[in-house]
Amino acid sequence: MKASVGDHLMVKGAHVGNANREGKVLEVHGEGGAPPYLVRWSDGHTAVVYPGADAVVTPPVSNSSS
């Protein structure tokens, strides 16, 4: 897994009924975009994360208009 500052991280809920967690990558501490990442979760908390196989990294959505 590779990420850049500003990317979005989504971790799927581990059990039925558990919500997905979404956050923004604030810092990348590994070489070449590798984990760990400092993430600000949508609830405002920040944490250092080593994402597992249940995580997906996506680039930020551009809000520019043509």
* pLDDT tens track for 35-63: 999 999 999 999 999 999 999 999 987 76
pTM above 0.75, yes or no: yes
Q: What is the pLDDT of residues 14-25, one digit of tens each?
A: 788 888 999 999
CA–CA dist 13, 27 (Å, integer) = 23
